[in-house]
Amino acid sequence: MNQYMPKYLKTKNRMMIFDLFRNQNIMSRAELVRITGISFPTVLKIVDKLLELGILIELEETTQSPGAGRRGHLLRFNPRAYYAIGLEFEGQIVHMGLVDMLGTCQYCRSIHLPVQNHTLELSKLTREISKLMALAAGEQIPVLGIGIGFPAMVNPQTNSIIHMSYMNIDHEVTFAEAFPEFTAALPVPFFLDNDVNFACLGEAFLRRRCPEYQNLVYFTLGTGCGVSYMMNGELWYGATHKSGEIGNMPVTSFQIPGADVPEPKPFEQLINLEAIYQRFQINLQQNPGFPETMRDEIINYLCPYLSYTLTNLTYLLDIQHCVLTGIIPLALGDPLLQRIQEAIRTTLVHNTLQIEPSISRDTGIIGAAVTVFNKRLEVLFEE
């Protein structure tokens, strides 16, 4: 224990100062001492480590130190000291890009993956990753790792898939066992999590200057639906890493009062792309332009399901911010969010909930990259 604590505190102090620079950009050593309460000698050692890693750059510009001491040089955060690759799976589409330490996505692209025997063929993805690695090498920026947002129940602690009906996985297998050739070809470490969890993490990271977004529900609706919940800046995984599988929640479809109550269905089967197609004969993914009258009909259909569900989540979790995104909300636009907001105002008595669009379409990629930085920098800071 005595050996563990100093090492743990050293890493945490380094991560604290790293986060400060990532948010403030330019600071002095004296400011770090004042803000963190860490001793000046310890701050000097941490700054030397960050300078060694290229995360900080010492400027010629100086600032006056407290008292009669000599003027100290300012230090600037270098967001492109390292890259991470973020991957976000969405059905057979994978969105990907190089991300710097401020969450800026470079060289973003999307590719379509073929399917063979209920399994995604990832050889094309391997080639695209090699291209991103080459771009980073051309800029002489090391890539720390790859974050993979996968649409399944995932145990991020073991990089494992717990359940994925599409691939007939009903017991925990590692991602390396599911995709051995792909993972063997990866040139850097990878980190796996559910795609919605990474998107929620990316959303909170991009809104990190607003503390209220450290408590957030991220709701995505498309081919399926999923929820991720962030509480006090930490993702909530549940006892068995199955939190957020709201699409499996049994729900009874809305009927005329007095009619027989139908058998409940999984929630996503009532509101996903297939449900919209079966009811309205329109594919929202392939037909972004459609008559306003049809938009209103689809919104009228979806609104009760979504507003009541979000109302119940608000009473359960005491949340104030919900990001609603995905193929369907993006296709229907602000009118859907406004209708849900109006409906929630009439059902929430003692609480408030703000329904908002995502701040970026790259939050899944960014969240995957942020996880890479958090995991890999802790290792580098321990050295």
Q: What pLDDT does residue 71 have? A: 62
Where do the domains of the chain lie, and which CATH numbers do they carry? 6-61+71-77 (1.10.10.10), 83-199+363-382 (3.30.420.40), 211-359 (3.30.420.40)
Q: What pLDDT does residue 382 have? A: 81
Of 375, 313, 369, 374, the C-alpha closest to 103 is 369
**CB 75 within 8 Å of CB 59:** yes
Q: What pLDDT does residue 12 have? A: 87
Cα dihedral sign for 20, 26, 30, 34?
A: negative
CA distance 373 to 129: 18
- Residue 14 to residues 41, 201, 241, 372, Cα–Cα distance (Å): 13, 21, 29, 16
Query: Running along the chain, 383 residues long, what does each successive block of 10 average in pLDDT?
Result: 60 91 93 93 94 94 58 89 96 93 94 82 93 97 97 95 87 94 96 97 95 94 93 93 91 64 86 95 82 93 95 92 96 96 90 93 97 94 80
